[in-house]
Amino acid sequence: MTTVDASTPAASVTKLYDRLAETTPIGRQRLGRPLTYAEKVLFAHFLHPETTDLQRGVSYVELMPDRVAMQDATAQMALLQFMTAGLPQVAVPSTVHCDHLIQAQFGATADLETAEVTNKEVYDFLRSVSAKYGLGFWEPGSGIIHQVVLEQYAFPGAMMIGTDSHTPNAGGLSMVAIGVGGADAVDVMVGMPFNVRLPKLIGVHLTGKPSGWTSAKDVILRVAEILTVKGGTGAILEYFGEGARALSTTGKATICNMGAEIGATCSLFPADDNSVAYLRSTGREAIADLVAAHLGELTDDPEVEQDPRPYFDQLIEIDLNSLEPQIVGPGTPDLGRAVSAIGDEAREKGWPEQLSYTLVGSCTNSSYEDIARAASIARWANARGLTVKSPLLVTPGSERVRATVERDGLLDDLRAIGATELANACGPCIGQWKRTDAAAEGVNSILTSYNRNFPKRNDGSANTLAFIASPEIVVAYALVGHLDFNPLTDPIEGELIPQPSGEMLPSLGFAKEQSGFQAPPVDTSDIVVKVDPSSERLQLLTPFAPWDGHDFLAMPVLMKAVGKCTTDHISAAGPWLRYRGHLDNISNNLFLGVNNAFGSQAGKGWCSIHHAEESLPEIARHYKAAGIGWVAIGDENYGEGSSREHAAMEPRFLGAKAIIARSFARIAETNLKKQGLLPLVFADSGTYDLIERDDTIDILDLASLAPNRPVEGRIHHANGETTDFTMTHTLSPTHIEWFRAGSALNIIRDRAR
C-alpha cells in the first residue's frame, strides 16, 4: 500500500540514492562520456535505463516519477478522471494542495473565511476523494503548492510531476519536477510510466555572485529575455557554476519556477551546501545527512563544468557580478530591460507611469529570503516616516513562512508602510483578485513579483498592464508609486534607498506552525465520494468516443487565433475557476480571450449554421448539436502558459477534431494528445495565411497515421477552389493509440477492467 505523509520519509531518499548508484554508471557507459546532473536524474527514473533510446528531442521515453502533486483547481478534473479508472488507490505518493480557489479582496483572514464557505462543496469533494484513494490533503491556508512541496517533499535527485505549470519550482532543491495536465498525472497515479519526449539540455553557466539590488529573480528575467517564451520548449534548463552555488535554495526555486515562462520542460540546479542547509532548516535533518553524504553524485561530473559546451544543446553564460536588476512586461514575460531603462521606455510606449498596485509574493517569490529583503526596504522607509504611494499587497508562500516572518517582525515592517497581507494562496497571480479601485476601470500599470503577466491574468482586465520584478524592486517602486524611477540611483526625499538585505534562512529556524495536512485513513471502505448530479461546480465524466475510422472532412474553422493564444486565452482562470470540476459549465469560456481573425472582438466568431457572429463557445455548441466536427487554427506557440488541461478538454468536449497551428507549447500539445485530439503543425507556416472565414478543412488518410509521417490536408475555399497542404506532428505510437481509443484515459480504463 502506498503511504503519504506530511514530509518525504528518509527511507524513500535512501532507496533512490541506491538507484542512482546503479544507473549513473549505466548512463556513462551508454553515452560514453561523463554526465550532467540532469542526465543522472533522468537515468535513475528511466523505466529501462539499459535500453531507452537516447536521442534528445526525438526519442519518447518512459519515466517513473517518485510522486504527484496537484493544486485544487486542477486536482478536481485529474481526480474525476482517476475515479473512472477503477483502481482502489493511487500507486505513488500524491498530494492535493488548496491554494487556487481563495480570492483576494479584503485580507488574509477574511478572504480565507470566505473561501471556506464559497468553495465548501469543492473542498469537501477533494477531502473525500483524497481520503478514499490514499492521497495527502493540504487544507486551504496551509500554503501555495510549490512552496509547500519545496518545504516538505522535494529533495535532490528525485522526480515529480504536478498538475501546474510552475511545478518546476522544486528544481531549486535539485529535483526534476515537470508540469503536466491531469491525464498525465492519472497515468502516474495508476502506476503507469510518464511518457515524454527526451528533453534537450540547455546549460546556463552562472559566474560571479549577486550583490546589492540584484537577486535570483533577475537571473530568470534575463534568461527569459534571451530565450523568449518558446526558447526553452522541449528542453531542460540546467544551471551550474560558481554563480549557481552562490544562490539560496529558494532563490534557485524562483529561477526554476519561471522556467515555465520560456516553455522549458523543467529547470534544475545541482545540489550543494545550500541544499543541505535548507533541508536542515525545514526540519528534515535525516534527509540533509543523506544529501550531504552524496553531494558528489548529486551534481555534474567534474568534466561538465570544466568544458560545458559538448554536453549541452545550447549554452548561455551570465555573469552575476554585472547583472543589473530587471523589469519585464507588459503582456509577456520575455519583454525585458534593466530598471534603469523602464522610465524612458514607458514614456516612449505610452504606458501609464503611475502604478495602480504593487504586489509581492506568489509561488515564485514568497520565501523567507524574499520577504526579508522586501522588509529591509520597508524598515528603512518606516524609519523615515515614508509610506507606499501605490497600494502594496503581500502574499506569504506558506503557513510556515507566514508564521516565521510574523515572529521575526518582517510582516510588521511591511504593514508599517501600508502593506496588506493576503492569504497563503495564489490570489492575484492567477486572476483570483477582486479589484474595486477606480484605476482598474481604465488602462493602468501594476508591478508584481509574480511569474506570468499575460493580459487579464491578474484581475481579468485587458486594460491592466502587468510588469514583473523582484520583491525588493517592487517595494522600492511602491514607495514612489510610478515607473519613472531607478532605485539604484534616484533618491527619495534626498536619500538613496540602501541596498536590500535579508537572511537566506531564518537564524531562529522556521516557526513550528505548519498545520493543515490530513493523511488518508488506513481503512477507506466506509468513505463515499459523492457528486451531486445538480451541482454547478462538479460533474462526473463521460468517456470521449473513440475515433470512428473515417477521415475528418468539411470541417468548419471555428476560429483562427492571431498572435498569442495562451491557455488564459483558451480557458480563462479568475471567476471561471469555480467551474474547474464541471466540464460542461467551464466549456462556456472556450476561446473567449482569443483574438480571432474572423471575429469583430475577442471571443467572437462566425457561425456557419446561423450565418451570424456569435461567441465562440456558442458556435462550438451549435456545431456539436448538429454533429459537425470542427477545427481551430493557432498561431505560434499555441497553448503557452499554464498546464490547465481544460484548454484541451473543452474543445474536445465541444466537438473539435484537431488543432492546427504554426507551433505548440509542450504541455498544451501533450494535453491535446491525451484527450484524443490531433495537434498538427503547418509544414509551411504560410498556409496559416490562406485560411479564410468560410473555408472548410479536410484531414486525410488518417488510417495511415504514423510517427514521423506527414498528414495531408485540403482547404475548401468559399469560391469553390481548393488548396492542398501538409502538416507535421510529434505523435508517437502511444499517442496514436490514444487518438484511436478516444483518449489516453479510455485505454487506462480498459486495462483496469
Report the length, in residues, of the chain: 753
Q: Is 582 exposed, middle or buried (0-12, 13-18, 19+ CB in 10 A)?
A: buried
Q: Is 164 labeled as catalytic in the residue annotation? A: yes
**pLDDT, position 1:** 59
Q: Is 281 labeled as catalytic in the residue annotation? A: no
Cβ atoms within 10 Å of 721's Cβ, excluding its own: 9
Q: At what angle do helices 249-257 and 273-281 cross, to 10 degrees?
A: 100
* 2's grid cell: 502506498
Query: Per the residue annotation, which of 66, 67, 72, 99 is the catalytic one?
Result: 99
Q: What does the pLDDT average to over 420-447? A: 93
Q: How many CA atoms, within 13 angstroms, populate the side-chain half-sphere of residue 88?
A: 7
pLDDT band at 414; cut points 50, 70, 90: very high
Query: Per the residue annotation, which of 97, 146, 582, 644 is the catalytic one?
Result: 644
Give Cα separations from 750 to 83, 368, 454 (angstroms): 13, 47, 40
At 223-281, the pLDDT tens digits run 999 999 999 999 999 999 999 999 999 999 999 999 999 999 999 999 999 999 999 99
At 596-642, the pLDDT tens digits run 999 999 999 999 999 999 999 999 999 999 999 999 999 999 999 88
**pLDDT, position 530:** 85
* 469's grid cell: 520584478
Q: Is 751 labeled as catalytic in the residue annotation? A: no
Query: Per the residue annotation, which of 97, 100, 127, 666 is the catalytic one?
Result: 100
**Distance from C-alpha of 229 to C-alpha of 332, rounded to nearest angstrom:** 8
* 611's grid cell: 450565418
pLDDT band at 472; cut points 50, 70, 90: very high
**pLDDT, position 752:** 66
Query: Per the residue annotation, which of 66, 111, 164, 272 is the catalytic one?
Result: 164
Q: Is the pLDDT of residue 753 over 70?
A: no
SS3 label, residue 698: strand
At 650-700, the pLDDT tens digits run 999 999 999 999 999 999 999 999 999 999 999 999 999 999 999 999 999
Q: Is 452 labeled as catalytic in the residue annotation? A: yes
**pLDDT, position 210:** 93
Query: Strand 612-615 to strand 604-607: parallel, antiparallel, or no bridges (unpaired)?
Result: antiparallel
CA-based angle 249:452:586, to the nearest 5?
A: 120
Q: At what angle do helices 10-31 and 37-45 cross, to 10 degrees?
A: 110
Q: How many CA atoms, within 13 angstroms, populate the side-chain half-sphere of residue 687?
A: 26
**pLDDT, position 4:** 86
Give Cα separations from 452 to 101, 261, 602 (angstroms): 18, 7, 20
Average per-residue pLDDT for the chain:
96
Give Cα separations from 221 to 257, 258, 469, 517, 662 (angstroms): 11, 8, 8, 34, 26
Query: Per the residue annotation, which of 165, 571, 642, 663 is the catalytic one?
Result: 642
DSSP 448-487: ES-S---TTTTTS-TTEEEEE--HHHHHHHHHH-BSS--T
**pLDDT, position 751:** 77
Lowest mean pLDDT among 24-28, 85-89, 166-170, 197-201: 85-89
Q: What does the pLDDT average to over 644-648? A: 93
Lowest mean pLDDT among 54-58, 298-302, 479-483, 749-753: 749-753
pLDDT band at 190; cut points 50, 70, 90: very high
Q: Is the pLDDT of residue 9 over 90?
A: yes
Q: What does the pLDDT average to over 360-377? A: 97
Q: What does the pLDDT average to over 471-498? A: 97
Q: What does the pLDDT average to over 371-383? A: 98
**pLDDT, position 750:** 82
Q: What does the pLDDT average to over 395-424? A: 96
Q: Is the pLDDT of residue 39 over 80?
A: yes
At 74-120, the pLDDT tens digits run 999 999 999 988 888 999 999 999 999 999 999 999 999 999 999 99
**pLDDT, position 574:** 85
**pLDDT, position 661:** 98
Cβ atoms within 10 Å of 470's Cβ, excluding its own: 29
Instruction: Identify the CA nearest to 482 among candidates 342, 352, 326, 354.
Output: 354
Q: Is the pLDDT of residue 449 over 80?
A: yes
Contact 389, 480 (CB under 8 A): yes
Q: Is 642 labeled as catalytic in the residue annotation? A: yes
- For the chain, what percent of residues have pLDDT higher than 90? 93
Query: Per the residue annotation, which of 222, 379, 452, 622 is the catalytic one?
Result: 452
